Amino acid sequence: MGAAKTQSSTSPPERRSSKKVVPGPRDPEALQPFEGEALSSWITTLAEDRDIAVKQLLREFHLHKHGALSMGETRLDPPVARRISRLTGVDEQALHAMTLARYAGNALPHLPLSPEANAKDAGQWHSSAWLCDRRIRWCPRCLRENDGRWPLRWLLPWTFACLKHSVYLESECQRCQSVVTFGRLNSVRPQHCDAQTADERFRRYGYDETCDFPLAMSHPLRVRDDTVLALQTRINEWLDGVPTVDDRQLVSLTAVLIMLLSPSMLRRGDPILLFAIRSLRAPRPHQKRELWTDPLRVAAAACAADRILERSESAAQVARQIADLRIVDYRVVPWELDVMDWAYGPALRPNPYLEELVKRHVITVGDFRYH
C-alpha cells in the first residue's frame, strides 16, 4: 500500500498536448484568412481553432502591447507583421490588408501612423472617425456561410448592402431592437446580442438579462432596387482605390446627404429607404453625430446623391436643389456640422458641395460662416 502510494505520488505528470500554440508556415492545420477578412476576426478564429485564449495568442504575436486587438487592427507595425507572418505563414501584405490602414487614403482620413506613438491622437481619431468599431453591422447569411467570421469592410459605414445576397446589412437586434455593439476590447467576434433588456418577455429570472439573440438568425431586408447594389459597387471601387471622377462626386455628395437627407429626395426607388427616413428611426439630438452608423440611411443618401447628380452639373446647382428639397419638407433650420465630423468625416473636406451649402446657410460649421 505504502509503495503503491509512493509510486503514484511520484508518477510523472500527464503530458500536455503536442499541438503548437501557433501553427507554423508549413503546418497543414494553419488557418488562413479569407479574402477581405478583418484581422480581429481571423485572430479570434485562430485562437478558437487552437483552443487557446485570445490574450495568449496576442502575446505570442506581440500584439498585446497595443492594449486591445482593435488598436492592432488599425495599423500593424512592420516587426509585428513579420512575426505573425513567420509564425503563421500568412503573407505580410495580406496581413496589412486586414487592417484599417488600407482605407487611410479615402474612407479613414487622419489615420494614426502608429497606435502607440500618440495615445491622445489615436483616442481622438477613434472617437471621431467614421468607423463602426462600436456599433456593428452584419449580413446574417454571410455569418452562417463563413462560420461567424467578419469582413473588414463591415467596420466602415460605406458598406450598407451585401452584394452576394442582395440584402441590407443589419445593425439592430431583431429581438430587442437594441443596437448591437462589439465587446469591451473588440477581441471577440460578436455572435449574440449582448444588450441588457428590461422587457418582461425576456426576463426569465425576474431581473435584467442580456438578450442573447443569435445574430446569424436575423432576417435581413431584401434590396428591391438594383440601383442600390450598383451604388454599393461604385462605392466599393472608391474604397479599393480605383474610383472614377463620377464615383468621387457620388461619395462626396453622399457624405453631405447623410446629414441633410429629407423624404422629398427619395420619391422613387426602394420604399424601405423612404420608410427608414420617415419612421421612428430618426435620430435623437444626441445621436446626430453618428447618422452614418445606420446602413439604411447611408443607402438612402447614396440613392439621393445619384439622382441629384443626374439633374445637376455644378456644385452650385446641387446645393440649390438640396436647399429647395429641404424647404419642401419644412427643413429650414441649418444643420450644425460638428467640427470633428468636418475634420474626420471622409469626403467632407475638401468638398465642393459642402462649401456651396455653407454659402446658402444650409450647413453651419460650429461658429464658422462662409463669406
Q: How far apart are the first and last CA of the chain?
A: 98
**Strand ranges, E, within 193-304:** 196-197, 209-210
- Sorted by sequence, the CB contacts under 8 Å of residue 329 that are 6+ apart come out as 262, 263, 264
CB 185 within 8 A of CB 68: yes
Residue 115 has pLDDT above 50, yes or no: yes
Alpha-carbon gap, residue 253 to 269, rounded angstroms? 18
pLDDT of 187:
43
Query: At CB < 8 A and 24+ separation, what contacts does 243-248 make?
Result: 243/106, 246/309, 248/347
What is the mean pLDDT of the segment spanning 44-50?
86
DSSP secondary structure letter of residue 179: B
- Give me the pLDDT at residue 369, please: 40
- Condensed to tens digits (0 to 9), the pLDDT of residues 167-193 reads 999 988 888 877 777 654 444 567 888
Instruction: Please tell me the predicted confidence (pLDDT) of residue 197.
Output: 64
Strands (E) located in the chain: 161-162, 167-168, 196-197, 209-210, 335-337, 363-365
Residue 221 has pLDDT above 70, yes or no: yes
Residues 317/276/302/98 CA torsion (nearest 10 deg): 150
What's residue 316's pLDDT? 93
- Residue pair 165/141 in contact (Cβ under 8 Å)? The answer is yes
Sign of the C-alpha dihedral computed for residues 288, 289, 293 and 295 taken in this order: positive
What per-residue confidence (pLDDT) applies to 237? Answer: 92
Highest mean pLDDT: which range of 173-177, 185-189, 275-279, 358-362: 358-362
Max mean pLDDT range (3-7, 227-231, 258-262): 227-231
d(CA 209, CA 213): 12
pLDDT of residue 30: 55
Give backbone dihedrals phi and psi of 319, rounded to 5 degrees, phi first: -65, -40
Residue bearing the bigger pLDDT, 96 or 131: 96
Report d(CA 304, CA 311) in Å as an integer.
11
Task: Tell me the mean pLDDT in the region 258-274.
Answer: 88
Average pLDDT over the chain, rounded to an integer: 79
Percent of the chain with pLDDT over 70: 76
Provide the pLDDT for residue 9: 45
Say which residue, 136 or 310, is predicted with more confidence.
310
> Is a pLDDT exceeding 80 seen at residue 42?
yes
| pLDDT number for residue 13 | 47
CB neighbours of residue 88 within 10 Å? 22
Reported as a single tens digit per residue, the pLDDT across 56-113 is: 888 888 886 654 555 567 888 888 889 999 988 899 999 999 998 889 888 887 777 7
Q: What is the mean pLDDT of residues 215-231?
A: 93
- pLDDT interval class at 153 (50, 70, 90): very high
Which range, of 103-117, 145-159, 188-202, averages the lowest pLDDT?
188-202
* Residue bearing the bigger pLDDT, 20 or 351: 351
What pTM does this model have?
0.83
Preceding amide of 350 cis, omega within 30: yes
Share of the chain above pLDDT 90, in %: 31
Q: Is pLDDT of 135 > 70? A: yes
pLDDT of residue 169: 95
pLDDT at 21: 55
